[in-house]
A and B are shown apart, each in its own frame.
Chain A
Amino acid sequence: MDPDDRGDEQVDEPADHGAENQPTGPRFGALTRRGALLGIGAVAGVAAVDVGGFAYAGGWLRPGALTPSRFADGFEQVYGRHDGFRRNHAKGLSATGSFASNGAGAAICRAAVFRQGNVAVIGRFSLAGGLPDQADKPGTVRGLGLLLQADGQQWRTAMVNIPVFLDSTPQAFYERTLVSKPLPDTGKPDPQKMAAFLDRHPETVAAMKIVKQSPPSAGFADSTFYGLNAFYFTNSAGTTVPVRWSVVPQDAGAVAAPPESFGKDYLFDDLIRTVAQRPLNWRLMLTIGEPGDPTNDATKPWPRSRRSIDAGTLSITAVQTEEAGNARDINFDPLVLPEGITASDDPLPAARSAVYSRSFTLRAQEPKSPSEVNVRQVLS
């Protein structure tokens, strides 16, 4: 494929035809000034639509549009920039274990993960917020990300320990994140801005009330983690139902021993010490929605009477300091779903997927620093 493979340059090409290959000046139609100007105008028009359309699509001509990049930048505005860490849920600990499916989930979902058997799990415990070295506090939202792999199909989920989400739309979550920025003098959000936000978002006020009714447990090990968003599950017969899932600790109800100290990393330190002694188990509960239950609003709970399927046991058997190759390098994108689970009309998972991807790309390209939570230091 070089410039010499033009057909006319073959040796058997008629000589008069080869002459056409020489620039001999225009010999096509009569060029008029008017025609040329019209032509130039048309070319400029096509170029403008092409480049302008591309720039518009990419968000460069829409400074007000909330793009994944601007969403990720919002976290940086509130928490500062911390190279190599997630923009949210920055402080965390990698974990591994397994999910023992009892086969009951197969009644509503054809995904291989719900067939009876064991699948490997990679997890990550985390605290909400963009500070990778924040002090552990009981009220900070706790997260559990999971990656389950069965039959070559992945299921990723990122759950938190509150029963409903505080925002029903990505836009509201973004605004609330910005107004939650602590003021330098008080260390608390601007009360006027927060009040104005809550005035405009009664769904957030209602969700906060629900969250207050279930105070956080002592630690990670006895926390219930909720998937929050509704997804559609389809079984092998083709029947589809809306589902919200959660993992419920098997130690729930047991009186948690008060932590030895409320050190800076006490939640993670307790988790590390507990897992060193015994595996931690949760039951994976699939709660089935009924007609009329909201699938598009994670701030609204479903009635308590909804049927739940106990699909099996999640066991966390080991935890690891975040480092190259473990959960640190996994994007717990809530839309990586196995065949048999699909997104619902909830607007949050799409936005989470888009923003997690941006956050993952940013931190992948940044230099990495050691994690605040260090297993060896805790166990030594």
Chain B
Amino acid sequence: MTDQGSDTKTATTRFALPSRILHWLMAPMVIAQLFIGVTMVASLAYYPLLLAIHRPLGVLILVFAVVRLANRLTHKLPPFLATMSPAERRIASWSEYLLYALILIQPLTGWAMLSAARFPITLFGPLQLPGIAPHNIDAYAVLRQCHSAFAFLLFATFTAHVCAVLVHTLVLRDRLIDRMAVWPTKPPP
């Protein structure tokens, strides 16, 4: 566990700086990826363009997810706020694990799905990734269904996460979001 190098109260109530930076770098990527994915499969004209973004963005998310998991395992979390009940704390913790699991497994599912369908995993120009699953249409069928199911689950979890943080921040006014802030915040009361 690393020392956060500060003894101010703000430092102990916030997530570690690398955690906060990773959070705000990944959030737009994951949200964009969800919307690109759902738009792509419903579009005739933009399907290839969005797919060409979806593949490398998925790989980028996978890379960040691995870095983020390593960061998560090596940094302490700030304490829960007093405004969270024990049940809410449990839900918050488990939804965090679910989000970590999904951002790791969803890109791998997409990669494996394309591999099973014998598609090239093209990133940019001639740059390709190797396949990670046998060429098998039944494997593709299962992986493709998982990719959709994980996407809906990730979207639902993301939505619940945003709503929960906003309820705390806008309704309970407990400044929950300050814990993840990469912007200046008022010191807690």
Say whether B44 contacts A24, CB under 8 Å.
Answer: no
> Contact between B44 and A329 (Cβ–Cβ < 8 Å)?
no
> Could you tell me which A residues sit within 8 Å of B by CB distance?
1-3, 5-10, 17-18, 20-29, 31, 35-36, 38-40, 42-43, 46-47, 50-51, 53-54, 57-59, 65-69, 71, 152-154, 170, 324-325, 328-331, 333, 335-336, 339, 343, 347, 349-351, 353-355, 357-358, 360-361, 364-365
B189 touches A27 (CB 8 A): yes
B83 contacts A23, C-beta separation under 8 Å: yes
Bound complex: CA A329 to CA B34 (Å): 28
**How far, in Å, is B166 (CB) from chain A's closest CB?**
4
* A-contacting 9-mer, from B22-30, B55-63, B73-81, B104-112: B73-81
B90 (CB) vs chain A CBs: closest residue: A3
- Give the residues in chain B near A47, CB-CB below 8 Å: 159, 162-163
Residues in A whose Cβ lies below 8 Å from that of B39: 57-58
Could you list 30 examples of A-B contacts with CB < 8 Å?
Answer: A1-B97, A5-B76, A5-B77, A8-B78, A20-B81, A21-B79, A23-B82, A23-B83, A26-B172, A26-B174, A27-B189, A28-B174, A38-B170, A39-B166, A39-B171, A43-B171, A51-B159, A57-B42, A59-B42, A68-B42, A69-B41, A71-B44, A153-B126, A325-B136, A329-B136, A329-B137, A347-B44, A350-B47, A353-B47, A364-B144
- Indicate if the CB atoms of B48 and A350 lie closer than 8 Å: yes
Q: Which residue of B lies closest to A66 (CB)?
A: B44
CA distance A349 to B137 in the complex (A): 23
Q: Are A22 and B77 in contact (CB under 8 A)?
A: no
Q: How far is the CB of A46 from chain B (nearest CB, A)?
A: 6
Q: With the chains together, A358 CA to B51 CA distance in Å?
A: 14
* A17 proximity list for chain B (CB < 8 A): 12, 79
The reply to whether B44 and A351 form a contact with Cβ atoms under 8 Å apart is: yes
Report the nearest A residue to B138, measured CB to CB.
A364
Interface size on B, as a range, is 35 or more
Q: Chain B nearest CB: distance from A295 CB in Å?
A: 16
If over half of A's interface residues share one DSSP class (helix, strand or loop), that class is named, otherwise mixed; here it is: helix
Residues A28 and B189 in contact, CB atoms below 8 Å apart: yes
B85 is an interface residue with CB less than 8 A from chain A:
yes
Specify which chain B residues have a CB less than 8 angstroms from the CB of A27 in the assembled complex: 82, 189
- Whether A36 contacts B135 in the complex (CB less than 8 A), given A331-B117, A353-B47, comes out as no
Question: Is the Cβ of B175 less than 8 Å from the Cβ of A67?
Answer: no
* Chain A residues in 8 Å Cβ range of B175: 28
Nearest CB of A to B92, in Å:
9
Which residues does chain A contribute within 8 Å of B166, judged by CB atoms? 39, 42-43, 46
Which of B77, B145, B174 contacts A6, CB < 8 Å?
B77
Q: Is the CB of A3 within 8 A of B144?
A: no
> In angstroms, how far is the closest chain B Cβ from the Cβ of A143?
19
On chain B, the residues within 8 Å of A10 by CB distance are 76
What's the Cα separation between A198 and B149 when bound, in Å? 42
Distance (whole angstroms) from the CB of A158 to the closest CB of chain B? 15
**B118 part of interface (Cβ distance < 8 Å):** yes
B residues less than 8 Å from A18 (CB atoms): 79
The residue in chain A whose Cβ has the minimal distance to the Cβ of B139 is A364
Query: Complex formed: what's the CA distance from A305 to B189 in Å?
Result: 82
Which residues of the other chain, A, contact B47 by a CB distance below 8 angstroms? 68, 350-351, 353-354, 357
User: Which of the listed residues A22, A71, A355, A361 has the most CB atoms from chain B within 10 Å of its own CB?
Assistant: A361
* Pick from A28, A152, A333: contact of B128, CB under 8 Å: A152
* Interface pair B167/A21, CB less than 8 Å apart: no
Q: How far is the CB of B62 from chain A (nearest CB, A)?
A: 18
A9–B41 alpha-carbon span in the complex (Å): 46
Please give me the 9 A-B residue pairs with the lowest Cβ-Cβ distance, nearest first. Answer: A8-B79, A39-B170, A59-B42, A354-B47, A39-B171, A7-B76, A364-B141, A351-B44, A339-B126
A38–B166 Cα gap in the complex (Å)?
12
Separation of A1 and B74 alpha carbons in the complex (Å): 10
Q: Which of A6, A38, A57, A68 has the most CB of B within 10 A?
A: A57
Known A31-B172, A336-B120; judge A170-B167 contact (CB<8 A).
no
Q: Is the CB of A361 within 8 A of B86?
A: no
How far apart are the CA atoms of A25 and B39 in the complex, in Å?
A: 43
Contact A364/B140 with A21-B80, A58-B39, A336-B119 known, Cβ cut-off 8 Å:
yes
Is the beta-carbon distance between A347 and B172 smaller than 8 angstroms?
A: no
Closest Cβ of chain B to A252, distance in Å, is 32
Are A23 and B45 in touch, CB under 8 angstroms? no
Complex interface: chain A residues within 8 A of B45 (CB): 170, 347, 350-351
Question: Given the complex, which residues of A lie within 8 Å of B77, measured CB to CB?
Answer: 5-7
- Nearest chain B CB to A39 CB, angstrom units: 4
Bound complex: CA of A39 vs CA of B176, how far in Å? Answer: 14
Given contacts A54-B38, A153-B126, contact A6 B44 (CB under 8 A): no
Q: Are B80 and A26 in contact (CB under 8 A)?
A: no
**In the complex the two chains form, what is the Cα distance from A333 to B118 in whole Å?**
11
Q: A39-B173, A329-B135, A336-B120 are in contact. Are A58 and B79 (CB under 8 A)?
A: no
Whether the Cβ atoms of B135 and A154 lie closer than 8 Å is no
> Chain B 121-158, CB within 8 Å of chain A: the 1/0 string?
00001101000000111101100110000000001000
A42 to B166, CA, bound (A): 8
- Contact, CB under 8 Å: B82 / A20: yes
